[in-house]
């Protein structure tokens, strides 16, 4: 009798806590994109030397990943909302492995760019799948504000970012830059094994019931809109005027389609009535511009302008990532976001100001200080944005909402890539770095202003918000049918 009661209590406790077996595939899936973002930062110069390509051409290796991912994240996120995370996660892991193989064997820069496009689509599923699983587990357990799990995801991504540049430098030293692409093959195998064994299966009847809800025309128009925009951002010139025109036409068609269809890909009526979420996306874009200008521009300057090797440049970034991990770990369980965003903005302003002091022979101590200061916003802002989306988004569209967060982050990365190409010519010199620093200061100022004026941020983590997130999400869901009928 005692044993039976003990077993019953154990089962009840299990139903009331987050299923820990999901953590491994969630963390692996969510790091695939960050690890490839950070590891390529130390590979650009060696790849350029191997193929005789200047920074303006190797920048396509950054841009290609983000074009594919910016388009794919909300699309795959919506598919996850409809059909569950398992199949999308496994498909993404397979594409990631294929991308690693293409990069390992690539004969030229064009093949490497293809590899990065495939990789972008392959890494789309991990993050929206993780956010969808967190929301479904919150529904199952009744614990609607899993700050610890969200913090775990953020710290995992930052830990991988720590490993990325030093690992890239180490791999380049051991086997050349191709090894930074080949690393995706074992990661993909691990993803397939973990996903197949641990992710829950969506019942077949549930998938069949949702078959007719996929908004393929909306997805195609969304892709056309983003491709036109991103291609223009890569090389913003007057003779490419037709790209913004195509973007505007696709955007108009997308808006008309989404407002008329019964089951839209992105419900513009719900987003239009959710100003806090839209402001979060805008902040994500701005902070991403600054973060990626620093990640790629500063790393290239360390090699071209300061004369460090790829391995040394990777190690010089360590203080940023280590500080980011420490800050996220200390503040991760606090759901409040307003203070984190404001302190993060101050940290970015301080870091950008320090960049203006750098010279070709600056001391190593100053280089490490710059990285350390940038680590403070690194640890605060990404976690704050993630928490904001979790509390502001419609729970029934958590996958696509999380995917859109990443889309705006990658839009910022594209702007950053364009800025790096504009300020750096044939070499990443000190004058170009200082120009980038002034540009980053302007963007950071706008980010700070959007944070100061957004009073809705104060409600997240205020006590009522944690318990009321579910109700606000439910009310959002409740509004949808009424808006559609209208």
Domain ranges of the chain: 20-215+263-469, 216-262
CA angle 23, 125, 56 (to 5 degrees): 120
Handedness of CA 313, 331, 352, 363 (dihedral sign): negative
> Left if phi > 0, otherwise alpha if psi is -120 to 50, otherwise beta: which for 236?
beta
Range with top average pLDDT, 96-110, 130-144, 288-302, 306-320? 96-110
Q: In the predicted model, is pLDDT for residue 15 greater than 80?
A: no
Q: In the predicted model, is pLDDT for residue 475 greater than 50?
A: no
Model confidence, pTM: 0.72
Q: In the predicted model, is pLDDT for residue 30 greater than 70?
A: yes
Per-residue confidence band for 161, with pLDDT thresholds at 50, 70 and 90: low
Q: Give the DSSP per-residue string, 205-245.
A: HHHHHTGGG--HHHHHHHHHHHHHHHHHHHS--GGGTHHHH
> Left if phi > 0, otherwise alpha if psi is -120 to 50, otherwise beta: which for 391?
alpha
Contact 41, 161 (CB under 8 A): no
Mean pLDDT for all residues in the chain: 81
Which residue, among 22, 21, 192, has the nearest Cα to 92 in the 3D structure? 192
Rounded CA separation 435/448 (Å): 20
Q: In the predicted model, is pLDDT for residue 360 greater than 60?
A: yes
Rounded CA separation 417/235 (Å): 10
Which residue, among 322, 312, 291, 309, has the nearest Cα to 410 in the 3D structure? 291
Range scoring the smallest mean pLDDT among 234-238, 297-301, 318-322, 341-345: 234-238
Which residue, among 375, 408, 452, 448, has the nearest Cα to 70 in the 3D structure? 408
Contact 169, 311 (CB under 8 A): yes
Q: What H or E segment, with its residue span, contains residue 455?
A: none
Pick one of 1.10.287.3510, 1.20.1250.20, 2.40.110.10, 1.10.490.10 as the CATH number of 20-215+263-469: 1.20.1250.20
What the block records as the tokens of 202 is 């969506």
């Amino acid at each position: 009798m005692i044993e039976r009661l003990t077993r019953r209590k154990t089962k009840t406790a299990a139903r009331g806590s987050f299923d820990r077996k999901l953590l491994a595939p969630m963390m692996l899936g969510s790091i695939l994109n960050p690890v490839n973002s950070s590891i390529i930062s130390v590979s650009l110069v060696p790849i350029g030397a191997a193929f005789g390509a200047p920074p303006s051409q190797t920048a396509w290796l950054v841009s290609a990943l983000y074009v594919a991912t910016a388009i794919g994240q909300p699309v795959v996120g919506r598919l996850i909302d409809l059909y569950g995370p398992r199949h999308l996660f496994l498909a993404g892991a397979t594409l990631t492995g294929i991308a690693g193989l293409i990069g390992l064997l690539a004969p030229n820069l064009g093949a490497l760019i293809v590899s990065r496009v495939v990789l972008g689509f392959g890494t789309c599923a991990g993050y929206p799948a993780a956010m969808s699983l967190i929301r479904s587990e919150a529904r199952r357990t009744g614990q609607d504000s899993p700050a610890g799990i969200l913090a775990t995801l953020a710290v995992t991504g930052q830990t991988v970012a720590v490993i990325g540049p030093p690992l890239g430098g180490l791999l380049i030293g051991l086997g050349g830059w191709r090894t930074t692409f080949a690393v995706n093959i074992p990661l993909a195998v691990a993803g397939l094994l973990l996903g197949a064994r641990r992710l829950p299966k969506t019942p077949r009847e549930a998938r069949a019931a949702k078959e007719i809800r996929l908004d393929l025309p909306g997805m195609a128009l969304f892709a056309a809109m983003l491709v036109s925009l991103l291609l223009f951002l890569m090389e913003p010139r007057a003779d490419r005027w037709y790209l913004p025109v195509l973007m505007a036409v696709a955007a108009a068609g997308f808006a008309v389609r989404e407002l008329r269809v019964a089951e839209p890909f992105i419900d513009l009526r719900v987003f239009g009535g959710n100003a806090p979420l839209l402001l979060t996306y805008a902040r994500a874009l701005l902070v991403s511009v600054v973060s990626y200008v620093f990640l790629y521009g500063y790393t290239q300057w360390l090699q071209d302008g300061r004369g460090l090797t790829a391995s040394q440049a990777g190690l010089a970034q360590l203080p940023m990532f280590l500080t980011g991990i420490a800050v996220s770990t200390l503040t991760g369980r606090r759901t409040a976001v307003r203070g984190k965003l404001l302190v993060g903005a101050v940290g970015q302003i301080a870091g950008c100001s320090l960049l203006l002091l750098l010279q070709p022979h600056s001391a190593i101590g100053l280089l490490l200080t710059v990285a350390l200061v940038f680590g403070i916003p690194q640890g605060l802002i990404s976690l704050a944005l993630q928490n904001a989306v979790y509390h502001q988004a419609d729970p029934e569209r958590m996958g696509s909402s999380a995917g859109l967060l990443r889309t705006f982050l990658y839009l910022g990365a594209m702007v950053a890539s364009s800025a790096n190409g504009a300020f750096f010519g044939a070499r990443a010199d000190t004058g170009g770095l200082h120009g980038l620093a002034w540009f980053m200061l302007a963007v950071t100022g706008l980010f700070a202003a959007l944070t100061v004026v957004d009073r809705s941020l104060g409600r997240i983590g205020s006590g009522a918000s944690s318990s009321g997130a579910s109700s606000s999400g439910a009310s959002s869901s409740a509004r949808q049918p009424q808006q559609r009928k209208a």
